[in-house]
Structures are given as structure tokens and as C-alpha cells.
Structure 1
Amino acid sequence: MEMKLQTQLEKTACQIRIHAVEAVHAAKSGHPGGSLSIADILACLYFNKMRLDPKNPKWEDRDRFVLSKGHCAPAVYAALALKGYFPVEELLKLRQPGAMLQGHPDMKGTPGIDMSTGSLGQGFSAACGMAAAGKAAEKDYRVYSILGDGETQEGQIWEAAMFAANYKLDNLCAIVDCNGLQIDGNVAYSNSPASLQEKFTSFGFAVEMIDAHDLDAIMQALDTAEQTKGKPTAIIAKSIKGKGVSFMENNGAWHGAAPNDEQFKQAMEELHAVLNKLEVE
């Protein structure tokens, strides 16, 4: 990847993290851990890969995105605001009564949201339906969906995967955020999905294994998915829950908790230090 583009995407990912933490702190509730682990993937999708038009959110030929793990909406909201779908100031109204941005994505209330999600397992099914519709209508848009590794414990994920492979939905790309932690603790201890690579392969997917925080690897995997024909793609992305904030990293307590004022100050200092360094570079 060109160095200038990589630096810009790194800055954008850092800004997504900053705004996600700001939103959760302002709301005094939310899910920062998983929001931070997908920031690099979102930066690559929204700012380099997906075909979008913030001035026309319902553009028929746009690429679609479904956050199947809907509780990590703060990161997607941050990406949408930075992309220009709505003012960044809206992020500080997260979860407030009557506000545009609620705890889970709402396609009727938020521009740029393609599917309302929250009940784990269901978002990926909707993404499969979108991809099938695109095929039926002979459209060339692509559909991307981020799942949680804990979410793959849901049987509906595998019903959807079977459907996607059966209908050869090569316009579909599932990205599994494997941060190893869920609300009940360690995913492996709760109900281990074991080898996701083997599972998705056996279901008929092309599979890519990557570091979820390596921007070059993310872009290469997304490019490979776009070039793959005859089958859907699953990108298994090994990530760090709470990535970018030292006391949140690999700490399951931050699955669904808001930082207090002191913790928020420390998080902002750490994230802005990274952003300042990138801006100098």
C-alpha cells in the first residue's frame, strides 16, 4: 500500500477510536471494546474500498455494509460522521432519547445504515439477502458484514453461510472480528467456535486469515475477496479488544462499560498521542 494512503487510513482509524470513546463516555453506556477492535477494518472499508455517496445514502448502486454485531455501533457511527453522512457533533448525543444515534444501528433513523441490527446472528442473514438481491437484479454492488467471533456461536450464522455458498454469492464478504472476548468472558471458554477457518471453508467460502490491525493485510484481503468468483469470502481477522487504549486492551470488562472521567482523560491522551504522531509523519 502507498505510504501516504496507509498513513491516512491509520489517522482515520485513530479518529474513529477517539470519536467512539467520546460517544460512549458522553452516553455513559455503550460497547467500547469491540468498537475499538474493528476501527482499522472500518477505516479501510469506508475510506478506501466501498463505493458510497454520503450525499445520497440510498444510492441504488452503492456497496452495502451490515454490522451484524450491532452493539459496536459507536465505531460505525464515527466512520459515517467522518465520511460526511451527518455532523460529528451528533456522536455526543449517542443513546439520548430522540437522538439520531441509538445503542444499535437503525436504518430508518440514521443515514448510511443499511440494516438495523442488534440481535446477534441476524445481521449476517440480512447481508446474505442483500447479496442475493444484487445478483438477481444483475447489480455489481458488494455487501460487507462484520461479525463477532462470539456471534458465530449462533446457529443462524451457519444457516446464512450455507445459503450464501449454495447461491454462490461472490459479492458477499463476511469479516469476523476475532478478539477472543464476549460479554460472558473468553469466547473459547463460553462456547468455542473452534477453527473458524475450517468451518467457513467446509461451508464453501474462500477464507483469508489476517491481523485485524494490519492495514495492508486488510486491504489485500478485501482485494482478494473482490476478485474471488463463484463463492463468498470470509475474512477471519484476529484483533485486540479495546485496541488503542491500554487499560481496555484484551480486557473483557470493557465489552459493555463506559469510562469514567479519569479513564476517559487517559484514553484521550493515549489516542491523541498516536494521532499527533501520525500527523507529524
Structure 2
Amino acid sequence: MALTTRIDAELLQTYPGLRHLTRIERAQYLQERATDWWSRALTDAVDRKWNAVGQARTRAGRGPAVTGRDLRIADEQRLRRCLKRRYGWNTFPEEPPCSLYEQSAELAGDLRELARILVTRWQLDGREMGQPERDHLVAEALDALGWPHRRSALDVASAFLDDYPWMWRGPFTAAMARHDDALDDESCPRCEKHRDGQAPHRVYIAHYRLLKLYKVGVTTLSSDRRLKTHRATGAQIVDTYTTNDYREALAVEAAVLKAVEPWRTRNELVPGGGEVWTDNAVLIRLAAFVERGMK
């Protein structure tokens, strides 16, 4: 039977810190409260304890400061939301909301800022992406700058890198040619909204301490979204291992699940709850596990 995570409105009014508990923490709180239902003093103690947990989270804020790659990803997402909200445009590869010569100064400025972020991500975060995604960033940045109708787009993009245009004309042209081919065969991961199997990936192990569970999963190296989902639901990421591509990551994940088969279980409170096992098993250190042949 599924655990309920709904807290009574009267309790929330008395103990507002309970509003800030994660879903797993709410389930644990309600379970403890149900266990001590026969004693008002004990249930009050449980209420106060978990209220303090929620208040501590409020004081600590929403998490660590966003810097580096995370900040660049956040800037890119913010600009895309801005373009959609202001102009009803879902960005490349959709056609822009108006022609190059009909753009307002505001739209042109937003597009230039998007191009700057994309070129910066191509330069600084490219090692964490596959070739198709890197090519997409170049193609979208130059499209935002008006290429091919505006031939100065290459110069502007090069200026974002603080370099001379002739240094980047070859790499940018080659990236656009590859991206055109990817559009033709519908293999661009961003345009088609699918996983880039060629990109570096990482296998991770999350520990749900309150549930006494470990969880193994796979995510792209260029995004922390999946890891943040686990942290938001009360987990700690205890180990990661970087692979060359998606297929290799899946092989490591499958080997881990095979190794912990005697301790496997399921839990609907965990995202991807079919890939979990009880934490009374010895924690597998992924690097050592791979080195010894995944046995």
C-alpha cells in the first residue's frame, strides 16, 4: 500500500515548517506520527522535530549559489523562456517571429544575448557534450545573429570569444555543415529533443538515507537536472562515474544492478524507483567496480 504524503491543513498552520519538507521527509514524518498516535506528548515531539527540519531548510535557502556551468545553463534557459513569453517563439529550429529586417531593437538584443550564451557554452562546456549538440549550439547562435543573410554574424560570434574571425570561420562553417546533415537525417539531439548518445554520460548512485535505499541511474554529463531531482527529494549523491557515451553508461548501470540483485526492491517515492536496493548492502564504488571488470 502506498504511503500517503498529505499533511493535515491544521498541522501545517500550527507547524509551518512542515510545508518545506520533501516528499520523502513528509512520508517519514507521517509514518513516525502514526507509530506514536497513542501519546499526545510523543506526536507533539514528532511535530516539533520535523517542523525544525523544515525551518532549517528555509533558513539555508534553496541550495548552493549557482556558478560556472550551472549559471550558463540557467542563463540559456532564462533567455529561451524570455523569447517564448515575449514573442511566442520556441527558438531554433522554428522560424523566427519576423524577418531579419523587421526585428525590433528589443528582439535583436535578446537574440544577440542568446547567441553570446550559446557560443560561450560551446567554448567552455563543449567537452561535456557530443559533437551533434556542439554543432547545434554554433548553428543556433549564428542563426540568431542573422546568418546567412547577415554575413557579419561570423565576426560577431568570434568577438564573443575575444578572437579574430579568421580563426573560427573554418570550425564554425564545418559545424554548420554537419548540423545541416543532422537536420536532414533528423539526428540532432536538440532539434529532435532526444538524448545525444555520443555525448559523455555519468553513472551515479544516490543514497536515500530516510528510506534506507541506494539508487543507480544514468544522466548526461552536460546536465545536472536529474541529480537535482534526487537531491530535491531528499537524496545525497554519493558516487559518480563518467563514461564516453550513453551505451557505456547503460552497461555500467546494468552491471551494478546485477551485482546488487539480492538486495533489489522497489519504492514509488524514489524517481526511477525500480532501480533501487537496500542500503544494508555494501556501497559499490563505481570506479573500482569498473576497474575490476564490473564483477
TM-score (normalizing by structure 1) = 0.25
**RCO greater where, 1 or 2, for CA within 8 Å and sep 6 or more?**
1
TM-score (normalizing by structure 2) = 0.25
